[in-house]
A and B are shown apart, each in its own frame.
Chain A
C-alpha cells in the first residue's frame, strides 16, 4: 500500500448532488452526471492496482501533459468504475502513450476518432465485459464505465475538450464510451491478443483510433463469399490504401464461415481482393485528388494495403446477420493500434 499523499486539489461540498452539479458546470464530465471522486474511493482504486499516485502512466508531449495514476483513478471513479476495472483503464492509457498511437492527433483531429478498446483473455469474463447481444450498446457496467473513464481522462487530463483541442467535425457515439470484449468462445480462430503474440491465458486490451462504425446487413446468404462481399462493398466507402481497418463479424456470419472451414487469413485475403477497383473508378469518386497522372487507369487499387491491414474481430449477439466495418483515423497510418497485456497488481 502506497503511503504517498494524493496531490490533486481537494474540494469540499455539503452533499453529492452539489459535487455532481459543480463538476458538470466546470466541464469536467462528458455532459452526464459523475460519481464523486472522494479521497477514500480514489485511494481504494490505487491500492487495488498497487500503484503509487504519482506514477506516470502516459505522457502527451505535444501538450506537455502527464497522466498520473492518481488522475486515472479520479476519473475512473467519476466514470462509475469498480476498483477491479481500474487495471484495464490503466493499461489502455499506457497503450495510448505509445508513440505509434499518436495520442495528440487522434484526440484533436476533425476526423473525430474515439478510442475503441477490445479486451481479450480471462479478465473479460471476470469483469463481466459484454461480447454478445448489443455489444456496442448500453447495459453493461464494465463496458460502459471503462470506456467512459478513458474518455474523461482524454478531456480532463490531456485537455482534448470538445470544441477546444478536440475539433471533431462530427465525432460519434463511441466518444462517450467504447469498450467491448471479443467473443472468443464463438470464434473458430485464435483471439486478437493471441494473433498479436500473447498467450491465450493472458489478458490484454487492444486500442484503436476508431471512426464511426458502418453496419453491414446480410441475412440471406449462407456461405462466406456473399457474406464477405457485402462487407467488401461497404469497405469501399472507407477509401483507398488503409493501413489498418477493423471488421467485426457477428456470430451468425461466423457460423457460416466456420461451416465452410475458412481460416481468419482466408477471410482477410478474400476481403482484400474483393475490395479493389481500378484507379479510374477511384478517380471518379474523388479519391485521387492529384489525378491519374501517368498511372494505368485499369490498375487495381485496394481499400486495404494488404490482407493483414484488416483486423478481424468476432463479437455480437447470436441472432442477426449484421457485421461492422470500423475504419481507423487517418486510414490507420496516422495511428496504429496497440495491444498490451493487462497485468494484475504486483
Chain B
C-alpha cells in the first residue's frame, strides 16, 4: 500500500512592492501662490485645466500661473518640465481629458 503524496505547486503571482511616499504639505490658502497647470497631452486636458483655473480664480488671487503640457499621456512627464514646475510652483494641478 502506498501513501498518497500531496501535489505541491507554486503561486504564480507577485504582489506590488510597497513604495514609501510622503504627501507634500498642503497650502492653507491659494491666495498669493504660484499654481501650475499640467496637461497630460490628451485632447481636452488643456480646456479642462483652463476651466479649473477659471473656477479657482473666482475664489483666489494667484501670484502667477504656470501652464505646461507633458505632451504624451502614455509616458511619464519629462524631467525638465517636472523640475521646472517643482522649482516655480507652490502646487501643481494635473488633468487627463479625453
Contact = CB atoms under 8 A, between A and B. Distances in A.
Interface stretch (A35-43, A89-97, A246-254): A35-43
Interface in A125-157: 152, 156-157
B43 A74 contact: no
A313 B6 CA distance: 48
Given A13-B7, A109-B74, A156 B13 contact: yes
Given A102-B74, A334-B74, A38 B14 contact: no
B7 A15 contact: yes
Contacts of A78: 12
Nearest to B16: A64
Nearest to A10: B8
Contacts of B17: 64-66
Contact of B10 (A18, A37, A66, A335): A37
B6 A13 contact: yes
A82 B89 CA distance: 56
Nearest to A289: B43
A16 interface: yes
Given A65-B16, A157-B14, A10 B9 contact: yes
Interface residues of chain B: helix, strand, loop or mixed (majority)? loop
Interface residues of A, number: 43
Interface in B44-91: 72, 74-75
A255 interface: no
B16 A36 contact: no
B22 interface: no
Interface residues of B, number: 18
A102 B19 CA distance: 20
B70 to A, nearest CB: 13
B98 to A, nearest CB: 9
B14 A19 contact: no
A11 interface: yes
A76 to B, nearest CB: 10
A75 B74 contact: no
Interface in A44-91: 63-68, 70-71, 74-75, 78
Interface string B1-39: 000101111111110111100000000000000000000
